A and B are shown apart, each in its own frame.
Chain A
Amino acid sequence: MGAAAPSKRLRRPVTATPRPVTAPARLLRHTRSAAGFVVVTALTFLGLLAITFFIGRVIPIDPVLAVVGDRATPAQYEAARVAMGLDRPLAVQFVDYVGDVLRGDLGMSVSTNGPVARDLARVFPATLEMATIGIVIGVLLGVPMGVLAATRQGSWADQFIRVFALLGYSVPAFWLGLVGLAAFYARLGWVAGPGRIDVFYDGLVDQVTGLLLVDSLIGGEPDVFFNALSHIILPATILGFFSLAYIARMTRSFMLDQLSQEYVTTARVKGLPEWRVIWVHAFGPIRVPLITVIGLSYAGLLEGSVMIETVFSWPGIGNYLTTALFNADMNAVLGATLVIGAVFILINKVSDVLYRILDPRSRA
C-alpha cells in the first residue's frame, strides 16, 4: 500500500487540481438549480395568467354587457354580474380564475357553444403539424445556408443569404401567404388550395394523433396522405421561411466565431479535408447553441402560424383565435392566447435547460 500511493500520486497532474466537489454538494446544487427553474417557470406561467386575467376582466369597460348585450333589463344584468362572480374582489376572482385554468376549465365559447378547452384540444394538432413541418424545412435549409455564408464570408453567396435573411424579418407573413396562394395554387396549380384536405377526403381516416399526415399513414391511405401533403406544403414552407431567416443568421454568426479560432487553423494545417474542418471541427461546438436557436424559432412558428392559418383557412389554433376575434368571443380568444403562450414559454424554458445540460462548461 505504502509503495502504491506515491506512484498513483505521480500520475495525477501536479498543477491546477480542480476543487473537489463532493457528491452531496453536487446533488444539492443540481436540486437547487432544478428548483430555481421550476419556481421561475411557475412564476412566468402565473404572470401569463395574470395578463390574460387582466385582459379579460379589467380592460373591457363592462364584461357583463359584453355577455348579456345592451338590451338586458337591470335585473338580468345584475344576475349575470353575480353569476359571473364579478361582484367579488379582484384578488378572489383571480384565485378562482387560476383554479379554473389549472382544472382545465377555460370557460365556454360563444361561437362554438362548447368548452374552449375541448375546442383547443381539437384544433391544436393541426397547428402542431404545420409548425413542425415548417421548422424541419427551416432547419434543413437554414443551417446549411448559414454555414455556407460563414465559410464564404463577403462573397456574393454571403450577401445574398444576408438579404434573404433580412427579408425574413421584413415580409408580412399574411402577404406572403396570399401571394403564394395566387402564384402556386391559382396560376401554377402546383399545390392544393386553402384548408387542410380536400372535402372529398375529409373524415376518411380515423383520428389517432390528430396529425393528418401521421393518421393517414397509420390508416394506410396513401391518397389522403398525398392530398394532405399537397395542402400543407405551401403554408409550412412559408412558415419555415421565417424560421430559416433567424436560423441562417445565427448559424452564420456562430460559425464565424468558430472559424476564427486557432484550433480550426490547426486542423487545416494538419491537412484535413475542408469539409471535415467545417462540418466536424467547426460545426461540432455550435450544435448546442443551435438547439436553443431552433427551440426559439419553433416557439416563434407556433405564434407566427396565427397569420398563416388565417390566410390558408387552416383549421388550427391561429384560425380559431382569429375567428373568435371576429365574433368577440373573449373566452376563446383568451383561452387560445393562454395555450399559445404556455407552449411558447415551455419551449423557451426547455431549450434553455437543454442548453445548460448539453453545454459541457456548465457541467463542471
Chain B
Amino acid sequence: MSARDWLLDESPTSRWQAGAGRAYAAARLLLRNPLAVVGGGIILLLVLTAALAPLIAPESPLGQNLSNRLLPPSSAHWMGTDELGRDIFSRVVFGARITLMIVVLVAVISAPLGMIVGAVSGYFGGWTDRVLMGLTDIFLSMPKLILALAFAAALGPGIENAVIAIAITTWPAYARISRAETMTWRNSEFVAATRLLGASHARIIGRHILPLCASSTIIRVTLDMAGIILTAAGLGFLGLGAQPPLPEWGAMISRGRTFILDQWWVATMPGLAIILVSLGFCFLGDGLRDALDPKGQAKS
C-alpha cells in the first residue's frame, strides 16, 4: 500500500490516519488554486526572510553611516539608504521579523480567546450565551482601528502594547464563528455519547468542540492577517507601535515622510513590503477558504 493510498483510505483505522488524510486532501485542493499557491509562497518567503535575516541582509539594520545618507536605489543599496545612511533593504529584511512576531502573537492571543468565548457561549446557551454574545457584539460594532489606537495610547508605545491593543479588537469575530460552529455540534450524538461516558463540560469543549471550530477560525485568522498587519503598521506610523531604531515597516514609512518629495524611496520601499505580505495573506486566506471550509466542500 503506497503512502498515497494510505492517505486517501476511505475507512481510516486510526485518528492519526484520518487527520493526515484530511490534511492531504486539503493540501491538494490548495495546490490547485493558483492564487493560494502564490500567497503561500509569499508567506513562506516572509518566514524564511525572518529566520535567515542576518544571512540575507548585506548590512546591519542599525549600523549608521552618515557619509551614505539618502542614497537612491543602486546596485550597492537595492532600496537606497535612509537619513542615517542605513541600508533600507537590510532594514526591510529585519523588519520581517517584527511583522511576523506581531502577527503570530496577535493570532496566538486573540484566536484561542475568541474560540473559547464562542464555544462556551454556544455550548451552554441561555444566559451565558446572551451575556457573552452581548459583550462580543458590543466589541464587534466598534471601529477596530480607533479602538486599537485608543488602547495603544493608554497602554503606552511599544510592540507588546500594540499587540495587546490589536488582539483586544480582533477576538470578537472568532467568538462569533466558534459559537455558530458549536451550535451545530452541541446536540449531536457524539457529544451526547461523550457526556454519557461521564466527560466533564470542560473536556467536551476542550477535546471535542474546539477542534471542530479550528478550521473555520484558521481561515478567518488568515483573512484577517492583512488587516492586522495594516493596523500594526498604522500604529507604528503614528509612533504607537515599535519604537526607533527598530526596523518596523510602519515606523520606517513614518521616518521617510519628511523626505517623500525628494527622496521617495525612504518611505516607499517599506510600504511595498507591507503590501506584498498583506496580499500574500489575502491570497492564501481566499484559497484556504475554498479548500478547508467544510461547508464550502459540502456545497460543491
Contact = CB atoms under 8 A, between A and B. Distances in A.
A191 to B, nearest CB: 14
A172 B141 contact: no
Nearest to A58: B154
A214 interface: no
Contacts of A348: 141
Interface in B231-271: 233-234, 237-240, 250, 253, 256-257, 260-261, 264, 267-268, 271
Contact of A52 (B143, B150, B257): B150
- Interface size class, chain A: 35 or more
B227 A341 contact: no
Contacts of A285: none
Interface in A310-335: 310-311, 321-322, 325-326, 330, 333-334
A197 B234 CA distance: 26
Nearest to A299: B143
Interface stretch (A81-89, A123-131, A176-184, A268-276): A176-184
A325 B238 contact: yes
Nearest to A348: B141
Contacts of B275: 167, 170-172, 175
Contact of B234 (A56, A166, A172): A172
Interface in B132-153: 134-135, 137-139, 141-147, 149-151, 153
Contacts of A186: 260-261
B232 to A, nearest CB: 10
A273 B236 CA distance: 53
Nearest to B250: A172
A114 interface: no
A217 to B, nearest CB: 31
A273 to B, nearest CB: 33
B44 interface: no
Interface stretch (A2-10, A40-48, A132-140, A226-234): A40-48
A214 to B, nearest CB: 26
Contact of A182 (B150, B237, B260, B283): B260
A171 B227 CA distance: 10
B145 A55 contact: no
Contacts of B142: 47-48, 51, 341, 344-345
Contacts of A166: 279, 282-283, 286
A330 B147 contact: no
Interface residues of B, number: 44
Nearest to B268: A179
B230 interface: yes
Interface in B262-300: 264, 267-268, 271, 274-275, 278-279, 282-283, 286
A306 interface: yes
A87 to B, nearest CB: 21
A215 B146 CA distance: 29
Contact of B239 (A181, A326, A336): A326
A333 B153 contact: yes
A260 to B, nearest CB: 13
A60 interface: yes
A43 B133 CA distance: 12
B115 interface: no
26 contacts: A43-B134, A43-B138, A47-B139, A166-B283, A171-B275, A172-B233, A172-B234, A174-B250, A175-B275, A178-B253, A178-B257, A178-B260, A182-B261, A182-B264, A182-B268, A186-B261, A299-B143, A304-B145, A306-B146, A306-B149, A307-B234, A310-B238, A325-B238, A337-B146, A340-B143, A341-B143
Closest 6 CB pairs of A and B: A47-B138, A170-B278, A175-B271, A303-B143, A59-B154, A170-B279
Interface of A: 43-44, 47-48, 51-52, 55-56, 59-60, 166-167, 169-175, 178-179, 181-182, 186, 299-300, 302-304, 306-307, 310-311, 321-322, 325-326, 330, 333-334, 336-337, 340-341, 344-345, 348-349
Given A172-B250, A181-B261, 9 more contacts: A44-B137, A52-B150, A169-B282, A178-B253, A186-B260, A325-B153, A344-B141, A344-B143, A345-B142
